[in-house]
Structure 1
Amino acid sequence: MAGSLIQAAHPGPAGDDAPRPAPAVARLLLRVAGVLARRVALLAVLLALVFAAVELLPGDAATATSERGESAADLAERRRLLGLDRPVLERFREWMTGLPTGDLGTSARGESVAGLLAGPFPNTLLLGGLALLLTLAVSLALGCWAAARPGGTVDRTVSATATGVLALPEFVVAVALVLVFALWTDWLPAVTLTDAEGSPASWKMLVLPVLALAIPQIGWNVRIVRAALADEAKAPHIETAVLDGLPRHRIFTHHLLPGALPTIAAGLATSTGMLLGGAVVVETVFNYPGAGSVLTGAVTDRDSPLIAGVVAVTGAVVSGVLLLADLVRAWASGGRS
């Protein structure tokens, strides 16, 4: 009994049987694996709904892609070649088996879906990435500016403007930008011309599409940044920092902003999906060579593999950004514990 008490009071070197806490890295990896598994399952359900929704549309891919004058026998043969004579569940299962290897199937016009997306989708990522960076920079600047003097003229003006901008659809913003900067002032081009590689021929052709995508999301994220900073300002450690006499800028950069970072990261991650979704409309307005035009044509052709391919690639990008936001939140929360 005494020996065990002495051993408990003066523990020796940990042996193999001593309990060891799970490393933080292992816990983080398990969390990441769980999040990925849930999002992969959600994406699979979404892709199944895509196939089902296309199946419910009037007509089919064989009819939509047929040439004038084709006979009923020709259409029947086209349906057989496209696999439309098989149940939709069987076609979906076959398409999903190739997804882990990067095989997105074949379009209704006989082209590789991966090949069709190889050029346009990077253009969409460029457009969405620039819009996301602009959203981050402007939202942080305006949100911090408004939060620096709560209740003041700047705070009220920024908050009211952000609310109004948030309510504007991308289509309305795009038309207004074309009207002002292309038709009235002739400062920027209204449509996008492409070079030999299929990319925008000039950086000027990116300005209006990026602004059309970013402006509504700036309104959304300014409100998130402002609210996150206001909530964090009520935390006890902020009051302690003020009582300790720390400079105002140091409190803001070392205490207030890091504490609001998880909420800000979550807002930006949500904006990623909205930006990629809004890109379909914006690319149509500006004739931008992105995945939006591919998706529009795919819906017209009732092309299930091509529509699902666009959704799968977009979902993978959004899931990656959401996972990055989760890691930022975990890091920020760990840093404060």
Structure 2
Amino acid sequence: MADNSVSGSKSLFEILFPYIRYIFKRLVSMIPVLIIMSIAIYILINMMPGDPILAMLDPEKTKAMTPEEKSLYIENMRRFLGYDKGPVERYFLWMGDTFRGEFGYSVKYNKPVNEFIGTYIGRSFKINIWGFLLAFLISIPLGITAAVKKNSLFDKTVTVLTIIGISLPSFFLALLLIMVFVIFMKILPFSGMSDPRGILPDWHYIILPVTVVVLTSLVGLIRYVRSAMIDILKADYIRTARAKGLSEKVVIYRHAFQNALIPVVTLIGLYIPGLFGGSIVVEKIFAYPGMGLLMNYSYNFKDRAVLQTVLLFFGLLTLLGNIFIDVGYMVVDPRIREGKV
């Protein structure tokens, strides 16, 4: 009997192996997609009008130069940044550098992109991850309660508020929060990420950006959770569970909610790249130095190396979001994990 119990139990590796194998396969399959994506990004960025070498020239530095010295300086910079080579050769050089963790040279910041890109990614992760986690924790109980109390005053109130929330663009919501909490109440800072006077703690500066992320993510999640729960609560096995005398809390949270998570996992996976794309507007309004503001500045300065890196990062997030969706399905639904669906 002991042998049977030991053989019947699975080790941690046996439990995790299907996930590890699947994630490895998906990561390998991402490589050709990333290559195609990188080609598209490279073509689009290099179709931008303007010369990046001329954009990086400092008028004060070149004012004292003779035309010959200025021409020689531009030629040296063009050679240093690789713009003296053909477009195809430049693409392969860029991809080779990217796989080595080198993302080119920024003409705006006058240093390699890999020396500062991680800082901007970390800042964007801070506001987006905090915002999404708070939105998820708030939307789950609200969506479940609205579904359980369908057509009640609570449900109608939540529905109306979510419709209003969906109709409000993020920039309008950001301006509204600035007007209330910065201009009128004067309790929160408007922009930046730290107080040079050392009076306000740093977390004060992310309250408004995180609030915008929470509110814009919250409305969609609530609607998805509510809709999924309403459909699941009509299922036969839910009626059977109730007929067996199980408590309403067990029926809702153990049986109904687990199955309602499947469409919610899809939405979460799609939100991952969308959060960072949407933060471009939020970071610009609040002057928060994250990926969104970096992308905006890079576009204005025709900083192609930074733009290519940021867009490739967004594309990678999209692919990772798709992997998250599939792995989430495997975790939530045992039939998918066991290959029965």
| RMSD between superposed Cα atoms in Å | 2.4
Q: Deviations over 1:272-308 (max 9, x none)?
A: 2121111111111111121222222221222222112
Report the CA distance shift for 1:39/1:63 in structure 2 as closer, same or farther (over 3 A): same
1:65 to 1:96, Cα distance in 2 relative to 1, 3 A: same
Q: How does 1:254-333 map to 2 (within 5 A)?
A: 254-333=254-333
What does residue range 131-170 of structure 1 map to in structure 2 within 5 Å?
A: 131-170=131-170
Residue type of the partner of 1:325? I
Amino acid at match of 2:46: E
User: What is the aligned partner in structure 1 of residue 77 from structure 2?
Assistant: 78
* Cα distance in structure 2, aligned partners of 1:179 and 1:28: 47
Structure-2 residue corresponding to 1:96: 95
Q: How far 1:146 sits from its partner (Å)?
A: 0.6
Which residue is equivalent to 2:33?
42
**Measured at CA, do residues 195 and 188 of structure 1 come closer, stay the same or move farther in structure 2, by a change above 3 Å?**
closer
Which structure 2 segments of 5+ residues have no match?
A: 1-13
- 2:10 — aligned with what? none
Q: How does 1:231-270 map to 2 (within 5 A)?
A: 231-270=231-270
Give the distance between the partners of 1:201 and 1:314, measured in 2 at CA: 30
C-alpha distance in structure 2 between counterparts of 1:75 and 1:283, whole Å: 33
Alpha-carbon offset, residue 311 of structure 1: 2.7
Q: How do 1:7-18 residues align onto structure 2 when only pairs under 5 Å count?
A: none
Q: Please report how far the alpha carbon of residue 160 of structure 1 lies from its aligned counterpart in structure 2 after TM superposition.
A: 2.4
Most deviating of 121-130 and 267-276: 267-276
Does structure 2 conserve the Cα–Cα contact (< 8 Å) formed by 1:52 and 1:88? Answer: no
Query: Identity over the aligned pairs, expressed in percent?
Result: 23
CA–CA separation in structure 2 for the residues paired with 1:187 and 1:195? 14
Q: Give the corresponding residue for 1:181.
A: 181
Contact 1:194 1:289 in 2 (8 A): no
1-side partners of 2:322 and 2:183: how far apart? 38
Q: Which residue of 2 aligns with 1:13?
A: none
The answer to whether the Cα contact below 8 Å between 1:166 and 1:218 also exists between their aligned partners in 2 is no
8 Å CA contact 2:291–2:310 kept in 1: the answer is yes
1:154 to partner: Cα distance: 1.8
Report the counterpart of residue 54 of structure 1 in structure 2: 45
Matched-pair contact (CA < 8 Å) for 1:60–1:301: no
Cα deviation, 1:189-208, whole Å, max 9, x if unaligned, reads 11124369xxx952111110
2:24 aligned residue: 33
1:238-273 CA-to-partner distances (Å, cap 9, x unmatched) read: 121122121111101110111111211221221121
> Is contact 1:192-1:288 (8 Å) kept?
yes
Distance 1:262 1:41 in 2: 28
Q: Deviations over 1:162-216 (max 9, x none)?
A: 12212322111111110111111112111124369xxx95211111000112211
Q: Contact between 2:273 and 2:321, CA under 8 Å: does it hold in 1?
A: no
Gap change, CA 1:53 and 1:212, over 3 Å in 2: same
SS of residue matched to 1:204: helix
Tell me the secondary structure at the aligned position of residue 104 of structure 1: coil
Structure 2 equivalent of residue 10 of structure 1: none
In the alignment, is the contact (CA less than 8 A) between 1:261 and 1:332 conserved in 2?
yes
Q: How far, CA to CA, are the matches of 1:135 and 1:335 in structure 2?
A: 29
Please give the alpha-carbon distance, in whole angstroms, between the structure 1 residues aligned to 2:155 and 2:35. Answer: 43
Deviation at 1:26, TM superposition (A): 5.5
Distance in 2 between residues matched to 1:84 and 1:170, nearest whole Å: 38
- Structure 1: which 5+ residue stretches go unaligned? 1-22
Q: Is the 8 A contact 2:276 2:292 kept in 1?
A: no
Distance in 2 of aligned mates of 1:93 and 1:266: 35
In the alignment, which residue of structure 1 is the partner of 2:58? Answer: 67
Structure 2: distance between partners of 1:108 and 1:45: 26
Q: Once structures 1 and 2 are overlaid, which stretch shifts more, 241-250 or 318-327?
A: 318-327
Contact 1:167–1:216 under 8 Å retained in 2 = no
Q: Confirm or deny: 8 A CA contact 2:41 2:312 kept in the other structure.
A: no
Range moving further from structure 2, 322-331 or 168-177:
322-331
Query: For the Cα contact (< 8 Å) 1:162–1:222, is it kept in 2?
Result: yes
**Aligned residues of 2:148 and 2:230 also touching (Cα < 8 A):** no
